């Protein structure tokens, strides 16, 4: 209801052009039709495919398409005194490459007193050209409130019951509030789709519907391809060590999920050697919180949309906010915002955009950034208050290496109790988790080729064949460690 009132206020204020950004074109058109009927105005819709038509007529097969060309339709409107209301759908592409279209719009706007024609430009995104700024008002539709969402759930539940001999949709209060919380931030049309999806599969809204709703919601929101929905999260049980990090996350879990802005945890940076389990840890934070994991793809951000990098980053961050509560994962962040040489200007602006967002974001979006190097990391990112903590993920100690062996044998259906885990842990000093995993994989292949079961000795042999990074790059790792000491917290 709020939308209708706000839109009426603008329409009544005698502003000739109104730009409405909305993915929900039908809803806008139906608002406009209602307004026109109330005021006794003529209402027309235009699009390049359907031309100009009387609004509100749903005849599927229009006999002919009139005024499909935007210049033609605007000439017609200029020559046809109103008062009338026009809804122009997707005229935005012509605003960037057809100066004549802009001029036509301006002519109509400047002649408003004579014509009385109001033009509403409806597009998913619309950049109003400077020439039209003074005669254009921008308007955004409100997103549905919790009450409206609940009403939509009820009405869809009734629809399902009707189709199923009056059977009731099964659900419970807790799941229902969770569903509503996950629907916040989507448009009315998208909410309908998501609610139907949750209900119509099995006539029940259960805990198991929530991940599906989240995934579909992400698909509906995603326009840029910069943010990826990671289907596979991990649990803390699949990572050995990192006890500090795990305890830190567990302590803050309730505060994060409550969504309250006070003292809400914002995020962490995981710094450490390649292969030490940082990416795995990022995934497991999402698993531990039980929320969607979204990965920001810096490569796509820089490559796909030349010159639109910051806008796309802002969109992606906004999208993440709409998915809240969620974990936003920026893997190898130094590659995205390096202070190094080349493409400096862009990555500086990207960093600025990111820092602003980190300072201002009010939603439950927990940022997990990982980095292998510090040399390239801009110091601003480390400043207190941006992120809650910087954890250093060191090479695993003896007990952790033993646990890594146990986890990875177990993962491959090899019984850990048949191995000498202590001997293996002893033999892998300086190995990363990834290197330990690789030696198991290597032993397995070798044994498979000999049709023999994997045993401790084969694994030890594989270990002996491995040259760990900590040996090959001892200096770099030493430097990283020295730097981390005192500046970071052990993970």
What does the binding site for Mg ion look like in residue numbers (CB under 5 A)?
279
Q: Which residue is nearest to Mg ion (CB)?
A: 279
Is the CB of 109 or the CB of 240 nearer to ligand ADP? 240
3-state secondary structure of 168: coil
Is the CB of 279 or the CB of 428 nearer to Mg ion? 279
Name which of Mg ion, ligand ADP, none residue 171 binds, using a CB cut-off of 5 to 8 Å depending on partner kind. Answer: none
Bridge partners (DSSP) of residue 388 are none
339/299 Cα distance (integer angstroms): 16
Name which of ligand ADP, Mg ion, none residue 433 binds, using a CB cut-off of 5 to 8 Å depending on partner kind. Answer: ligand ADP
Name which of Mg ion, ligand ADP, none residue 274 binds, using a CB cut-off of 5 to 8 Å depending on partner kind. Answer: ligand ADP
Nearest distance in Å: CB 52, ligand ADP: 57
Nearest distance in Å: CB 277, Mg ion: 8
Name which of ligand ADP, Mg ion, none residue 319 binds, using a CB cut-off of 5 to 8 Å depending on partner kind. Answer: none
Q: Kindly give the residue spans of alpha helices, DSSP state H, lying in 116-269.
A: 146-163, 173-183, 188-200, 209-221, 243-258
Nearest distance in Å: CB 366, ligand ADP: 18
Nearest distance in Å: CB 396, ligand ADP: 6
Nearest distance in Å: CB 372, ligand ADP: 7
Q: Strand 267-272 vs strand 389-393: parallel, antiparallel, or unpaired?
A: parallel
Name which of ligand ADP, Mg ion, none residue 470 binds, using a CB cut-off of 5 to 8 Å depending on partner kind. Answer: none
Task: List residues binding ligand ADP (CB under 6 A).
Answer: 239-241, 272, 274-280, 370, 396, 404, 407, 433-434, 437
How would you classify residue 68: left for phi > 0, otherwise alpha for psi between -120 and 50, otherwise beta?
alpha
| Sign of the CA dihedral with 178 first, then 182, 185, and 191 last | negative
Q: Which of 378, 295, 309 is nearest to 346 (CA)?
A: 309
Is the CB of 233 or the CB of 370 nearer to ligand ADP? 370
Name which of ligand ADP, Mg ion, none residue 214 binds, using a CB cut-off of 5 to 8 Å depending on partner kind. Answer: none
Is the CB of 36 or the CB of 239 nearer to ligand ADP? 239
Sheet containing 489-490: give its strands across.
227-230, 293-296, 326-330, 365-371, 267-272, 389-393, 489-490
169/171 Cα distance (integer angstroms): 6
Name which of Mg ion, ligand ADP, none residue 336 binds, using a CB cut-off of 5 to 8 Å depending on partner kind. Answer: none
CB 95 within 8 A of CB 88: no
Is the CB of 227 or the CB of 280 nearer to ligand ADP? 280
Q: Which of 312, 288, 161, 310 is nearest to 227 (CA)?
A: 312
């Amino acid at each position: 209801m709020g939308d209708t009132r706000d839109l009426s206020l603008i329409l009544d204020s005698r502003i000739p052009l109104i730009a409405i950004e909305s993915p929900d074109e039908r809803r806008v058109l139906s608002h406009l039709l209602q307004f026109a009927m109330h005021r006794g105005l003529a209402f027309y819709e235009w699009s390049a495919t359907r031309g100009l038509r009387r609004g509100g007529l749903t005849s599927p097969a229009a006999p002919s398409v009139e005024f499909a060309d935007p210049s033609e339709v605007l000439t017609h409107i200029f020559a046809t005194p109103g008062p009338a209301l026009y809804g122009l759908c997707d005229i935005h592409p012509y605003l960037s490459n057809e100066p004549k279209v802009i001029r036509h719009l301006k002519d109509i706007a400047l002649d408003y007193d004579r014509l009385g024609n109001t033009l509403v430009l409806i597009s998913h995104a619309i950049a109003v050209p400077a020439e039209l700024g003074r005669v254009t008002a921008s308007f955004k539709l409100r997103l549905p409130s919790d009450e409206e969402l609940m009403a939509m759930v009820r009405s869809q539940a009734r629809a399902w019951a009707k189709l199923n001999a009056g059977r009731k949709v099964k659900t419970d209060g807790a799941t229902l509030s969770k569903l509503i919380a996950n629907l916040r931030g989507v448009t009315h049309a998208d909410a309908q789709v998501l609610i139907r999806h949750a209900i119509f599969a099995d006539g029940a809204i259960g805990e198991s519907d929530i991940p599906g709703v989240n995934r579909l919601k992400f698909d509906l929101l995603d326009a840029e391809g910069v943010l990826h929905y990671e289907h596979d999260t991990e649990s803390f049980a699949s990572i050995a060590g990192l006890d500090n990090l795990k305890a830190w996350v567990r302590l803050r879990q309730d505060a994060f999920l409550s969504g309250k802005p006070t003292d809400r945890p914002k995020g962490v940076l995981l710094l450490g050697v390649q292969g030490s389990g940082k990416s795995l840890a990022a995934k497991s934070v999402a698993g531990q919180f039980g929320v969607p994991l979204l990965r920001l793809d810096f490569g796509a951000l820089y490559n796909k949309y030349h010159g639109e990098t910051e806008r796309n980053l802002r969109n992606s961050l906004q999208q993440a906010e709409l998915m809240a509560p969620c974990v936003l994962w920026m893997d190898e962040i130094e590659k995205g915002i390096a202070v190094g040489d080349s493409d400096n200007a862009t990555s500086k602006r990207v960093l600025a955009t990111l820092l602003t967002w980190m300072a201002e974001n009010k939603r439950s979006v927990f940022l997990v950034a990982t980095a292998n190097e510090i040399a390239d990391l801009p110091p601003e990112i480390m400043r207190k208050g941006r992120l809650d903590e910087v954890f250093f993920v060191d090479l695993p100690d003896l007990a952790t290496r033993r646990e890594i062996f146990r986890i990875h044998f177990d993962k491959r259906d090899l019984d850990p109790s048949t191995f000498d885990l202590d001997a293996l842990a002893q033999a892998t000093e300086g190995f990363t988790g990834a290197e330990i995993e690789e030696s198991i994989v290597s032993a397995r292949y070798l044994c498979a080729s000999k049709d023999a079961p994997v045993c401790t000795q084969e694994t030890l042999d594989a270990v002996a064949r491995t040259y760990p990074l900590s040996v090959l790059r001892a200096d770099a790792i030493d430097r990283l460690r020295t730097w981390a000491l005192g500046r970071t917290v052990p993970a």
